[in-house]
Chain A
């Protein structure tokens, strides 16, 4: 698990872990926090998209999730400057603050490390191109971690999660107007940037009005240009289906 973290975040661990003596612990702790935070961000983005169901989405829930996304993104933006100045200090402070989620987020990471992808026979997914922290979350999307669901409704959730993922791709085409899209119009540029970086699905083409879901829509229009795309495995497969239809 430690090595997975080190490899997964080349940006931080390769530089920091080797340079600073005694910083190894800090380096291992810091990537862990970043992955946790990334996982939380990805989870939140998925939750927002799952809002497009038959019934009007719960606005309170959407607002709270959107605020969480904003918080994470703000912190990530700040980390960009902190990292250069004092990586160790920056590593410890955020980890302390995330103490309440640490246990559970760590179990997410453990799950993903242990569980092989169903279709990726050689288990190559952990050996991702560094920087694409989204792939573990793609795993999360494809393999609803049963042990994370503490509730009895987990049975329903497992099936429902897979189904919901299909719904996301379905609803990409059906752009329902309504308050939810309006709501997320301004975070969309952030979504867009994040998604552009992380998934490589969105190429350099700009989406028309920058609504959250439409950030994905260029995937249907233009062939993905990033070379990272070939590493995405299953998510790649799903995108191909979209492009062809």
Chain B
């Protein structure tokens, strides 16, 4: 499944809704495309529900900040779904500056038989109306419409990197490089600042917020990660401004691995609570780490995503790849974690068996219903037939965004401007 090529179609975020029925993607051009899973029919049992385009709409447009003489990109940084409460679907989408709440609803009937206007909508002369009738709803072709219900603007000086819906379903937070704001869905003209790490003197700035997320069950609790590789757990009950954390997660540095790039590669690009709420997972440039909320001094698990890049850091710094922000996701049962890499590779780690696999999202290797073949990167010495050497890796093909169905083994992988949906056969 793929979109047409072109830079504006580069997918910048992927997210399943809470049931997995819908899959939303946002792209660099400010568009949101929602896919819906086909109802599985009894006639075609072998054809598991496939995802088809359900709705497409322009969420954000490019803007110009006249004060700073800078463009504001329309690229969708994040999409987060709200849990479904009625027939309509709601999602939050954000670019660097503005968060919007979108309502996606179906219309399959339309009213006919108005009194005051005719079928084309033209007003009728009241003098010609002699009888009254009740308009009736007649079926029409299904139309899916997306309407912006709220626009949460002008609350962020810096670029928004995260949004997270609270488990109370009444509030959500938006985080930029230096601040985190708490919003009520009903109120768009003000937000509550809950974290502010902006120093009084900007010259002293050495650390930024890179990601933030609410705890899945405790509506007072959230985490945010930093460019220095630390995670802070905050409790909103403790104080209004959560500058003081309740917990501080940081792994001591390994002195034998120290280089000028140590800090850069320790910068956390994504943080995600497990579904259980007992663990957090963080992604830095070379690893994925799982932390137990009860242990702050080191992660309980560390997985090497592409350690063969460690000797290439200088080159990756030069071409800016070292600043790529990879995301990471849990599967529904928190037993497997997944993250992307280069060359359109993505990696899965089974936390129980400790097995891992590298797969590739590419058209050549993926025929419909074909089984993905595990890939391997050769790190030196003799290269086997199927292996690919580190120097042959394509660093322009990076998988930054992936998503995992909340309950089934279905994954969505964004490879530049193509979206791949795999039904994973991992048990």
Contacts and interface: CB of A to CB of B under 8 A. Distances in A.
Interface of A: 37, 40, 43, 47, 54-56, 58-61, 63-64, 66-68, 71-72, 97-101, 103-105, 108, 148-154, 157, 176-179, 182-187
Given A97-B259, A182-B202, 18 more contacts: A54-B70, A55-B72, A56-B70, A56-B71, A59-B178, A59-B208, A60-B208, A61-B320, A64-B263, A97-B258, A99-B259, A101-B259, A104-B312, A149-B318, A149-B319, A150-B315, A179-B202, A183-B202
Interface stretch (B241-249, B366-374, B392-400, B405-413): B392-400
A178 B259 contact: no
Nearest to A46: B318
A187 B396 CA distance: 32
A interface, over-half SS: helix
B interface, over-half SS: loop
A43 B227 contact: no
Given A150-B315, A150-B391, A176-B68, A60 B177 contact: yes
A151 B321 contact: yes
Nearest to A64: B264
Contacts of A177: 68
Given A64-B267, A72-B260, A56 B202 contact: no
Nearest to A70: B206
Contacts, number: 126
A186 B312 contact: no
B317 interface: yes
The listed residue with most B CB atoms (<10 A of its CB), out of A64, A103, A183, is A64
Interface of B: 65, 68-73, 96, 157-159, 177-178, 201-208, 210, 227, 257-261, 263-264, 267, 310-315, 317-321, 323, 391, 393-397
A17 to B, nearest CB: 25
B70 A151 contact: no
A114 to B, nearest CB: 18
B159 A71 contact: no
Contacts of A178: 68, 70
Contacts of B68: 56, 176-178
Nearest to B323: A61
Nearest to A68: B260
A67 B317 CA distance: 13
The listed residue with most B CB atoms (<10 A of its CB), out of A40, A151, A176, A179, is A151
B396 A185 contact: no
Contact of B314 (A105, A184, A187): A105
Nearest to B269: A60
A59 B158 contact: yes
A60 B227 contact: yes
